[in-house]
């Protein structure tokens, strides 16, 4: 699925296909993490792999207040303990299918929000 292009200096998602994400300046394989000033492929393959430890190195690369988690074709949700652990990092979370996650990320990024996107 293709998305409308945002400002060139941001890591907006241009398109997402099975196993890959196209940003303005790069292409990534999923799973990956994207924020305003940082992007990388990750080893977080399933929602069960998400923890404070796995997110700390990603979240510390860029200031994020909310983490949008794209879980593939259908939404999956964090366990209560995972939600509490991430809230202790002062990060809110939203889980949704990956296409919706990309659209939400682009919208919040264009509103100059401190947002991160984790695509599984």
CATH number of residue 62's parent domain: 3.40.1230.10
Comparison of pLDDT for 6 and 44, the residue scoring more: 44
On the question of pLDDT at 5 being above 80, the answer is: no
pLDDT tens for each residue of 54-65: 999 999 999 999
Q: Is there a domain that residue 7 lies in? A: no
Q: What percent of the chain has pLDDT over 90?
A: 87
55 is in which domain, residue-wise? 13-119
In the predicted model, is pLDDT for residue 27 greater than 90? yes
Q: How confident is the model at residue 1 (pLDDT cuts 50, 70, 90)?
A: low
Q: Is residue 2 part of a domain?
A: no
pLDDT beyond 70 at 28 = yes
Question: What whole-number distance in Å separates Cα of residue 42 and Cα of residue 104?
Answer: 20
pTM over 0.85, yes/no? yes
Report strand pairing: 39-41 vs 66-70.
unpaired
Determine the straight-line distance between the first and last CA of the chain, rounded to whole angstroms.
16
Residue 5 lies in a domain: no
What number is the average pLDDT over the span 69-74?
Answer: 96
Neighbour-count burial for 21-55, b at 16+ CB within 10 Å, e otherwise: bbbeeeebebbbbbbbeebeebebeebeebeeeeb
CA-to-CA separations, 105 to 43, 55, 62, 86, 109, in angstroms, rounded: 21, 17, 15, 18, 6
Q: For the chain, give the mean pLDDT.
A: 92
**What is the mean pLDDT of the segment spanning 15-43?**
95
- Report the domain count for the chain: 1
Residue 4 forms part of a structural domain:
no
In a domain, 1, yes or no: no
Q: What is the pLDDT of residue 10?
A: 78
């Amino acid at each position: 699925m293709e998305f409308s292009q945002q400002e060139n200096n941001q890591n907006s998602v241009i398109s997402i296909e099975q196993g890959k994400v196209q940003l303005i300046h790069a292409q990534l394989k999923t799973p990956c993490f994207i924020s305003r000033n940082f992007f990388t492929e990750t080893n977080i393959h399933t929602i069960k792999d998400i923890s404070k430890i796995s997110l700390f190195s990603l979240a510390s690369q860029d200031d994020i207040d909310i983490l949008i988690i794209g879980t593939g074709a259908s939404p999956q949700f964090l366990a209560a303990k995972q939600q509490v652990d991430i809230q202790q990092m002062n990060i809110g979370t939203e889980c949704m299918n990956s296409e919706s996650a990309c659209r939400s990320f682009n919208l919040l990024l264009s509103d100059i929000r401190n947002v991160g996107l984790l695509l599984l």
